Amino acid sequence: MKSELIQISDELFLKLGRMITEKYGIKMSAEKKIMFQARLQRRLRELDIKSFDEYARRLFTTEHDSVEISILADYISTNKTDFFREKEHFQFITDHVLPEIFCEKQTNSFFQLKLWSAGCSSGQEAYSMAITLEEFMQSRNFRFDYSIVATDISGRMLKTARQAVYPMSQVEEIPLEIKKRYFLKSKSLIDKKVRIVKNLRDRVKPAYLNLMDNVYVLDTQFDLIFLRNTLIYFEHQIQQQVLTKILDKLKIGGYLFIGHSESLINMNLPIRSIAPSVYVKINT
C-alpha cells in the first residue's frame, strides 16, 4: 500500500531553505520544494514523524538539532559523481600540469604533490586523481610522493569514500588495464563490486569540511584543487566567498579546476584562465 505524501507548507519550506543556505550555502529556490518534500519523506518515516511542522520543532528545539540539520543536508544535496567525470581535466593533468611541474623540479621520491578534492561526494574524483598520478609515474618511470584530501559535508558519501567500494557498473568505461592495476574485484557473482587497491586508498584522506566554514582548517597549501560541480548549487555571492577561501589554500602557480558548466565570470579572483574550466593562481 502506498503511504500518503506528507506535505510541507510554503512558509516552512522557506524557513528551512533559509537555514540550509545559511549553513551549507546550497540555494533553495521555490522550484526545489517538490524535490525537498519528496526526499524528506523517508527521513520523516524513519523518525516516525507525521508532519513537517513536527519535524521543524525537532530541528529547532531539541539538543539533537545540529546532528539532524546535517542529516537533512545529506538528504537534499546532490551527490552525483563518477570516475573520470569530465575526463578532459585528467588528460590536462597528464599532458600539461605534471610535465610542467616536473620539468622544473628535481624529481625524486621526496617531492610531495598535494591535491584537494573539495565537494568530493563518494570519492571517485579523488581516486581518479590518484590513478592519473600513478599512470603518469609509470609512463615516465619515476616516483614522487603525493597525498589527496577529499572533503564533503555528507557523512554517507564520506563513508563510501573511505571504504572505496563501488558497484562494478561504475567502472565499465574504464580501460581494462587500468581496472586490473587499481581495482580489486569482489568474489560475489550476484552483487558485483570493485574496491580501490590499498596503496591508492592510503593516499586519499576523506574528511568532513563545510565550504561555508569561516576558515578551512587544513594545515597545508595545495598544488591542485578540484572544486567541481559543487559551486553550481550555491548563491553567486557565496560562490565568490568560497572561492576566495579555496584560493587561500592554493599555492601561487597552483591549479584550480571547476566543473565544465560552472563559471567564474565577474568574480574578482587572483587567477588566470589557462584552459576551459582550469585556472592558475597568480601573485597579485
Ligand X SMILES: C[S@@+](CC[C@H](N)C(=O)[O-])C[C@H]1O[C@@H](n2cnc3c(N)ncnc32)[C@H](O)[C@@H]1O
Interface residues with ligand X (CB under 6 A)?
24-26, 77-81, 85, 119-121, 125, 152-154, 157, 210-212, 228-230, 233, 259
> How many whole angstroms from its chain centre is CA 223?
17
CB-nearer residue toward ligand X: 81 or 132? 81
Q: Which is closer to ligand X, CB of 120 or CB of 271? A: 120
* Cβ closest to ligand X, residue 77 vs residue 144: 77
- For ligand X, the closer CB: 121 or 239: 121
Segments in 26-167 forming alpha helices (H): 33-46, 52-61, 65-76, 88-92, 98-104, 124-140, 155-163
- Comparing CB distances to ligand X, the nearer of 23 and 143 is 23
Least separation in angstroms between residue 243's CB and ligand X is: 13
Q: How far apart, in whole angstroms, are the C-alpha atoms of residue 168 and residue 93?
A: 26
* Cα-trace Rg, the chain: 21
Q: How far is the CB of 17 from ligand X (least distance, A)?
A: 14
Q: How far is the CB of 140 from ligand X (least distance, A)?
A: 27
CA of residue 168 relative to chain centroid, distance? 21
- How many CA atoms, within 13 angstroms, populate the side-chain half-sphere of residue 119? 26
Distance CA 77, CA 183 (A): 28
Q: C-beta of 163: minimal distance to ligand X in Å?
A: 16
Based on CB atoms, which residue is closest to ligand X, 237 or 283? Answer: 237
User: Residue for cell digits 545529506?
Assistant: 74
- Minimum CB separation of residue 103 from ligand X in Å reads 29
* Cα gap 284→282, rounded to integer Å: 6
Identity of the residue, 75 or 102, whose beta carbon is nearer to ligand X in the bound complex: 75
List the grid coordinates of 11: 512558509
The angle at the Cα of 275, spanning 271 to 279, to the nearest 5 degrees, equals: 20
Q: Which residues pair with 207 in a beta bridge?
A: 151
> Which pairing describes strands 193-196 and 165-167: parallel, antiparallel, or unpaired?
antiparallel
Least distance from ligand X to the Cβ atom of residue 3, Å? 27
Shortest reach from residue 27's CB to ligand X, in Å: 10
